[in-house]
């Protein structure tokens, strides 16, 4: 019995947030309402962003829940990399490139 009213309430809250975001964007960037709506509507859906993200922090719980999630993320990103992770990282790729260039230069110097 309450589902239609709950659905309407949720829709109205989403609409209010969308309008609030549109007004905030218009004020911040001094753009027209049409430009602000186009920019908001052109954004990637949140589900796609979540699926493409390496790390997602859900801030819908308590402050303690949020702090715990942040602590876990910080622990994960600060831990030392294993060798496979290192060679797949930017730093590892750069190290490999420098090693190859130095090796080629040494080989050329020795072969002459």
Residue 1 lies in a domain: yes
Q: Are 40 and 18 in contact (CB under 8 A)?
A: yes
Q: Are 66 and 59 in contact (CB under 8 A)?
A: yes
Give the pLDDT of residue 82.
Answer: 87
Residue 39 lies in a domain: yes
Residue 59 lies in a domain: no
Beta strands in the chain (DSSP E): none
Give the pLDDT of residue 1.
Answer: 60
Residue 6 lies in a domain: yes
Residue 14 lies in a domain: yes
Per DSSP, the residues of 18-67 read: HHHHHHHHHHHHT--HHHHHHHHHTSPPHHHHHHH-S-----SS-HHHHH
Domain interval for residue 11: 1-43
- Domains in the chain, number: 1
> In tens digits, what is the pLDDT along the chain, a chain of 112 residues?
667 777 788 788 888 888 888 888 888 888 888 888 888 888 888 888 889 888 888 888 899 999 999 999 888 888 888 888 888 888 889 999 999 999 999 988 887 7
Give the pLDDT of residue 65.
Answer: 92
Residue 105 lies in a domain: no
Give the pLDDT of residue 103.
Answer: 92
Residue 27 lies in a domain: yes
Nearest to 21 by CA among 12, 9, 33, 7: 33
Residue 49 lies in a domain: no
Q: Which two tokens stand for residue 35?
A: 């430009």
């Amino acid at each position: 019995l309450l589902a239609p009213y709950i659905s309407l309430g949720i829709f109205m809250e989403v609409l209010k947030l969308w309008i609030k975001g549109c007004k905030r964007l218009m004020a911040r960037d001094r753009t027209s309402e049409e430009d602000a709506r186009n920019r908001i509507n052109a954004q990637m859906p949140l589900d796609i962003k979540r699926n493409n993200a390496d790390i997602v922090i859900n801030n819908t719980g308590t402050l303690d829940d949020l702090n715990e999630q942040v602590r876990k993320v910080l622990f994960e990103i600060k831990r030392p990399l294993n060798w496979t992770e290192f060679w797949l990282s930017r730093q590892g790729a750069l190290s490999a490139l420098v090693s190859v260039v130095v090796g080629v230069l040494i080989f050329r110097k020795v072969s002459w």
